[in-house]
């Protein structure tokens, strides 16, 4: 049995109840075969893959808080410190009722390779809780965040582990968590990224994941002698990533005709009105029905359905496993040219393969959404030097990073004879740096 198959079998046995983690590991290890097979004996002796698939450390803790009725609520908090070979653990905190250890491990595992691709010195980590911020008052969210940080603050720090936002964790939650960290630890340091601009946040971090996704997509199009101008784009999600992806796509001259949330989706043939979407989602924290109510050109549909709309480019920006095989078939049938993932693992493995086999240019989240964490690393740099850069400086660095990522993954794929397979390219390019650092640091 090949070393990759041996490790896959072990990981499956050991983590049988964590389907998302297994899916992430399977995708990465399968695509690393050309690299691993060429150095099989060495990597097997070093147990390199077993080490990469085992978190360095993971924390699970009780998060008690009091709701507005005086009732005590209890949630579960997690932080997985997956790999620190190339830098302090770095990765977001997800607050969503679906969160469990398998979800956090899949996200932490992907983060290792994504962070490596940015070219910046950040290791992989992820955390979160099954707390649902939806429908909670600001005071309830604060009570949860303070309780969560009261425990989490023991394990993190500006040079050890630096959490940030993810689903359900935005500027409001980061603010409450930062305040509690400072109060308990007595340290004013860059322990979180995605902070507000008045207390150490970086300009362009809010926009970074969505903007970065479009900078990479634009480079992909350019490499195939195409441009964004006049393209029809379909986006899922209506959160941080989706909103700024829509905004940048429009600035590049494309027309974005959909967005979605966890209950329904919008088809707006005249193009999504970003200001209205921001008002509905960022200010009112309301449903997309409010968008449709305020916009005569928009249709609202219950459930899921954005992938049935004819497009040139599809950008899944909501959550994992939201683009399934039937969606992939529909996209191909409608002539879609490119799929770039703003979310983490939104496309299932069979859907990814179908898209690739049918000539769709497919860039996975580890490369395509790396602009968020890259800009978080730029926030860390600014915090360390106690300076802040202008929007233009940060944005220029972000553009540069995304263009480099595209060419690195494209070149890595070519080097191993998989030209145009950006999934293989991203996994190999991300893995090479981490593997070299782990080998140099000995058995640890």
Spatial distance between the Cα atoms of 267 and 37, rounded to a whole number of angstroms = 47
264 binds ligand NDP (CB under 6 A): no
3-state class of 91 per DSSP? strand
Binding of ligand NDP by 369 (CB under 6 A): yes
Contact with ligand 2IT (CB under 6 A): which of 25, 104, 112, 164? Answer: 164
Distance CA 293, CA 149 (A): 39
Short-list 70, 407, 368, CA closest to 248: 368
- Out of 32, 145, 167, 409, name the contact with ligand NDP by CB under 6 A: 167
Residue 126: active-site member: yes
Q: Tell me how far, at minimum, the Cβ of 259 lies from ligand 2IT, in Å.
A: 19
Q: Using CA atoms, how far apart are residues 93 and 77, in angstroms rounded to an integer? A: 10
Which positions from 91 through 120 interact with ligand 2IT, judged by CB under 6 A? Answer: 91-92, 114
Q: Which does 49 bind (CB under 5 to 8 A by kind): ligand 2IT, ligand NDP, none?
A: none
Smaller CB separation from ligand 2IT, 95 or 309: 95
CA distance 402 to 212: 6
- CA-to-CA distance for 411 and 430, rounded, in angstroms? 12
Give every CB contact of residue 222 below 8 A, 6+ residues apart in sequence: none
Q: How far apart (Å, rounded) are the C-alpha atoms in residues 419 and 421?
A: 6
Burial 97-123 (b: 16+ CB within 10 A, else e): eebbbbbbbbbbbbbbbbbbbbbbebb
Q: Which residues pair with 194 in a beta bridge?
A: none
Choose which of 27, 140, 166, 312 interacts with ligand 2IT (CB under 6 A).
Answer: 166
Q: How far is the CB of 339 from ligand NDP (least distance, A)?
A: 15
Using only C-alpha atoms, the chain has a radius of gyration, in whole angstroms, of: 21
* By the rule CB under 6 A, 240 interacts with ligand NDP: yes
318 contributes a contact to ligand NDP by CB under 6 A: yes
The pattern of x and - marking residues 268 through 307 that bind ligand 2IT according to CB under 6 A reads ----------------------------------------
Residue 379 found at the interface with ligand NDP (CB under 6 A):
no
Rounded Cα gap, residues 108 and 81, in angstroms: 7
Nearer to ligand NDP, 204 or 238 (CB): 238
Select from 162, 238, 409, 424 the one that contacts ligand NDP (CB under 6 A). 238
Is 376 one of the binding residues for ligand 2IT (CB under 6 A)?
yes
Interface with ligand NDP includes 343 (CB under 6 A)? Answer: yes
Dist. CA 77–CA 58, nearest whole Å: 11
Which pair of structure tokens corresponds to residue 357?
A: 């086999």
Q: Among ligand 2IT, ligand NDP, none, what binds residue 147 when CB lies within 5 to 8 Å by partner kind?
A: none
Q: Which residues of the shown chain bind ligand NDP in the complex (CB under 6 A)?
A: 165-168, 209, 237-242, 261-263, 317-319, 342-344, 369, 372
Q: Which residues of the shown chain bind ligand 2IT in the complex (CB under 6 A)?
A: 90-92, 114, 164, 166, 193, 344, 372-373, 376
| Residues catalogued as catalytic | 126
């Amino acid at each position: 049995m090949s070393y990759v198959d041996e490790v896959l079998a072990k990981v499956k046995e050991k983590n049988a109840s964590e389907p998302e983690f297994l899916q992430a590991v399977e995708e990465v290890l399968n695509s690393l075969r050309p690299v691993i097979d060429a150095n099989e004996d060495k990597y097997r002796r070093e147990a390199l893959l077993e080490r990469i698939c085992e978190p360095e450390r993971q924390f699970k803790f009780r998060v008690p808080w009091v709701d507005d009725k005086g009732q005590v609520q209890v949630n579960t908090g997690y932080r997985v410190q997956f790999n620190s070979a190339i830098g302090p653990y770095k990765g977001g905190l997800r607050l969503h009722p679906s969160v469990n250890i398998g979800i956090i491990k899949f996200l932490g595992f992907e983060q290792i390779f994504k962070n490596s691709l940015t070219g910046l010195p950040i290791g992989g980590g992820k955390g979160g809780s099954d707390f649902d911020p939806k429908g909670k008052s600001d005071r309830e969210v604060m009570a949860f965040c303070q309780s969560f940080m009261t425990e989490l603050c023991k394990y993190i720090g500006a040079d050890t582990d630096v959490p940030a936002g993810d689903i359900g964790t935005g500027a409001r939650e980061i603010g409450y968590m930062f305040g509690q960290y400072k109060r308990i630890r007595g340290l004013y340091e860059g322990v979180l990224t995605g902070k507000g601009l008045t207390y150490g946040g970086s300009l362009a971090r809010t926009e970074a994941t969505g903007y970065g996704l479009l900078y990479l997509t634009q480079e992909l199009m350019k490499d195939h002698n195409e441009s964004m101008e006049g393209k029809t784009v379909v986006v899922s999600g209506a959160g941080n990533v989706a909103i700024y992806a829509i905004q940048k796509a429009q600035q590049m001259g494309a027309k974005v005709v959909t967005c979605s949330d966890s209950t329904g989706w919008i088809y707006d043939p005249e193009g999504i009105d970003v200001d209205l979407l921001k008002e509905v989602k960022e200010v009112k924290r309301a449903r997309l029905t409010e968008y449709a109510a305020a916009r005569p050109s928009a249709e609202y549909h219950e459930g899921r359905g954005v992938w049935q709309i004819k497009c040139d480019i599809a950008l899944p920006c909501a959550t994992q496993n939201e683009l399934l095989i039937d969606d992939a078939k529909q996209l191909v049938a409608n002539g879609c040219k490119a799929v770039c993932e703003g979310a983490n693992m939104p496309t299932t493995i069979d859907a990814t393969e179908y898209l690739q086999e049918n000539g769709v240019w497919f860039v996975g989240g580890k490369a395509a959404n790396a602009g968020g964490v890259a800009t978080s690393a730029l926030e860390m740099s600014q915090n360390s030097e106690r300076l802040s850069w202008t929007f233009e400086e940060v944005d220029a660095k972000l553009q540069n990073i995304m263009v480099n990522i595209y060419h690195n993954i494209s070149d890595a794929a070519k080097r191993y004879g998989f030209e145009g397979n950006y999934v293989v390219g991203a996994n190999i390019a991300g893995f090479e740096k981490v593997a070299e650092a782990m080998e140099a640091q000995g058995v640890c």
